[in-house]
Structure 1
Amino acid sequence: MAEGAVGTCPQVFVVDSHSNYISMPSKKKPKWERVGHKFLHLLVGLTVLGLVVQGFFIYNLYKKTESFAHSGSHPTYQNLSSPQKSGQQDGNTMSQVGSKESSNIPIVRPHTGQIQERPFAHLMGSNDPVGEDNVVQWLHESGEAVTHIMSYNKGRLLVKEDGYYYLYSKVQLNTAEECALIQHRVMKDTSAYDKSIELMKSKSFRCRTPKNSSAKVSDGEDLWNSFLGGVFHLQVGDRIFVTLENIQKMRTGLTENFMGAFMIFP
């Protein structure tokens, strides 16, 4: 090497052992574990939200129930805090159940003040049905016969309250002996007219003819039934009765013959 030659200085690298460095995790968490944490947080959030909504609805329901319980203008609601008073009005004894808080629960009761007793009557066949002017006579007190807010006199029902009534009558006759014209009528006597008014009528000509001219009429029965029914407006003082042509042929019996009336609208 020549003396004048200049030597190249070697490069020196200094390592600072005290410098900061970022430590990387040696191993990542599994993907399912990360998803599980997110799903758990979502469930907790939904649960809290559900509790809030449920509390809101319960609060609204309580407010509505309290407003109904304290409303004195509604006739169908009452407070259970006075059960003895309501029980006396309805004819029943009511016992208070539960705590004091349950006394605010409203109950619905029927409008007992609007219930009105209506007239009705059911008359049954008599063993002696023949009356004056073919007016059929009835039993009005025995068996299933009954009258309510109506009265009976000599085959006639007396109306005591105005209204629309359903009237009905059924008779049974034995027409086996000879030819006969049968007329079954439901009649009304009213103070507005001097004569009876015909409300319903059934008319039939019954004649049992033997097959041969030389044959005799059978001694058996040839029963004929007639039923009449309809709705009519009746006034206080009207009298309802049944007439029957050839009333002597009427087959007696409690269930074979009957008449009745009941109010359907006041």
Structure 2
Amino acid sequence: MCPHVSPDPCGCPQASGDRPLSEKVQQDRPPTKKPAAHLIAGADVSSQPNGSLRWEPGKSWAFIRGLGYRGGSLVCRQPGLYFVYAKVQLGAPGCPTRAATLHGIHKRTPRYPGVLDLLVNKVVYCPQAHGVPWARHSFLGGLVRLETGDEVFTRVQAPELVRAVDGTRSYFGMFMV
């Protein structure tokens, strides 16, 4: 073995006196403060006038960093590739007449006059007899390119079915990758 190279604890060679490579890479890379948000459903998860669900950006472990929040929407301030996600817990003490609803993540942008669907899921519920309590969930997540001013929000066709228990059942967020 070369006298100028000694193995580190994992057996990888390194020059004498040098820090382990993993430590050096972490110290040489500036800490990133990429935009991110995680919102939870509060006591009032009803729809906003624009159709998006209402979220609690300042409760429990919810947070917003480098993004805006307006009318149930997360507002992009820095263009880039984002992972967007939303989970809703749906339930009721009995089955309503409609046995399916849509859950979606949508985008509003100043460059297009309408709402754009990013991810949509059809949730079928109430397979059991009427009058029996039921619960289902829907999770959506995917990568999307966002520009400054784009608004991302989530909708449920029947918002009265969304359940907010403790911030773990229904949530919505995104982060830059």
TM range (shorter): 0.7 to 0.9
How do 1:57-96 residues align onto structure 2 when only pairs under 5 Å count? 61=4
CA drift at 1:129: 1.0
- 1:223 matched to 2:139? The reply is no
Correspondences of 1:113-262 after superposition (within 5 Å): 114-130=30-46, 131-175=48-92, 176-180=94-98, 181-208=100-127, 210=129, 217-218=130-131, 220-253=132-165, 254-262=167-175
After superposition, what is the alpha-carbon deviation per residue over 1:50-96, rounded to whole angstroms, capped at 9, x for unaligned?
Answer: xxxxxxx76xx4xx9xxxxxxxxxxxxxxxxxxxxxxxxxxxxxxxx
What's the counterpart of residue 214 of structure 1?
none
Deviation per CA, 1:8-41: give whole Å up to 9, x if none: xxxxxxxxxxxxxxxxxxxxxxxxxxxxxxxxxx
Question: How far, CA to CA, are the matches of 1:208 and 1:113 in structure 2?
Answer: 52
TM-score, normalised to structure 1, is: 0.54
- Structure 1 Cα separation of the partners of residues 95 and 18 of structure 2: 71
Paired with 1:169 and 1:252, the residues of 2 have a C-alpha distance of 13
Q: Deviations over 1:219-249 (max 9, x none)?
A: x411121000101111111111001111112
- Paired residues of 1:179 and 1:207 also in contact (CA < 8 A): no
Q: Which runs of 5+ in 1 are unaligned?
A: 1-56, 65-103, 211-216
Aligned length: 160
Partner of 2:176: 263
Runs of 4+ in 1 over 4 A off after TM superposition: 104-108
Distance 1:144 1:209 in 2: 35
- The CA deviation at 1:179 is 2.8
Deviation at 1:262, TM superposition (A): 0.7
| TM-score in terms of structure 2 length | 0.79
The answer to whether the 8 A contact 2:87-2:171 is kept is yes
Deviation at 1:252, TM superposition (A): 2.4
Question: AA paired with 1:261?
Answer: M
Structure with the bigger percentage of helix: 1
User: Cα distance, 1:106 vs. partner?
Assistant: 4.9
Which structure: larger Rg? 1
In structure 1, the residue corresponding to 2:95 is in which secondary structure? coil
